[in-house]
Amino acid sequence: RMKEIRRYLHENPELSFEENETSKYIANFYKDKDCLVETNVGPNGIKVTIAGKHPGKTIAIRADFDALPIKEETELPYASKNEGVMHACGHDAHTAYMLILGETLIEMKDQLRGNVEIIHQPAEEMPPGGAKGMIDDGVLEGVDHVLGAHVMSMMETGKIYYREGFVQTGRAYFRLVVKGQGGHGSSPHTSNDAIVAGAHFATTAQTIVSRRLNPFETGVVTIGSFDGKGQFNVIKDTIT
């Protein structure tokens, strides 16, 4: 059943802050189950509270459910039906196992000490993300601890890896526009080549981590897009 849920979600991906149907699907899954379901948290987020029979702490477990603006080319029988949108980061899997976990915890709630909150978070891929909206709406009020999980292709199938503290990095992004003076490729001396300047920046930016960051801390700088499209023999005046 978990596989069926995951494949359905994989076929029907939605971008960050546009996950209306996915949000409805998640909320509908908990319909008529013995739990408290709060919708439109954040917005589009879902908070499910499972009250244990015995006193104890409140543990929140979180999973995300948005997809990426990527064209799927896997040719799988359950490939994305939404052109240009794909679950390429595993959020379909996160949602599938979280739904089944939630259902299981509801069935065994009489054995639970304390409460469990299932947090289905939208818009993880779009900084600052759906988490901020959910937090602003009070999703973490009264929560003692939060557990997060993520599938990782480099880990061995069938095993769970865990550690205390941070496991993955947070994210910030920037957009840099380099403006120069265009010209013909045969006469670079008459221009101010934005591509060369941008290339120097892309290379030098990698020294931010090695030269500016404490070696005992973690960080990474990735240039994910370098746009200087145009005629091959024309020196560009602007790159992004």
Q: What is the pLDDT tens value at each position of the chain, 240 positions in all? A: 999 999 999 999 999 999 999 999 999 999 999 999 999 999 899 999 999 999 999 999 999 999 999 999 999 999 999 999 999 999 999 999 999 999 999 999 999 999 999 999 999 998 778 999 999 999 999 999 999 888 988 889 888 888 777 777 777 888 999 999 999 999 999 999 999 999 999 999 999 999 999 988 888 999 999 998 888 899 999 999
Q: Which residues are catalytic?
A: 66, 124
The candidate with the shortest Cα–Cα distance to 66, out of 45, 52, 83, 81, is 45
Q: Under CATH, which number does the domain 178-239 receive?
A: 3.30.70.360
Look at domain 1-148 and name its CATH class.
alpha beta
> Cβ–Cβ contacts within 10 Å for residue 224, how many?
5
Q: What is the pTM of this model?
A: 0.82
Q: Where in the chain is the domain with CATH 3.40.630.10?
A: 1-148
Alpha helix segments (H runs only) across the chain = 2-11, 20-29, 91-107, 130-136, 194-204, 207-212
pLDDT for res 164:
77
pLDDT for res 172:
81
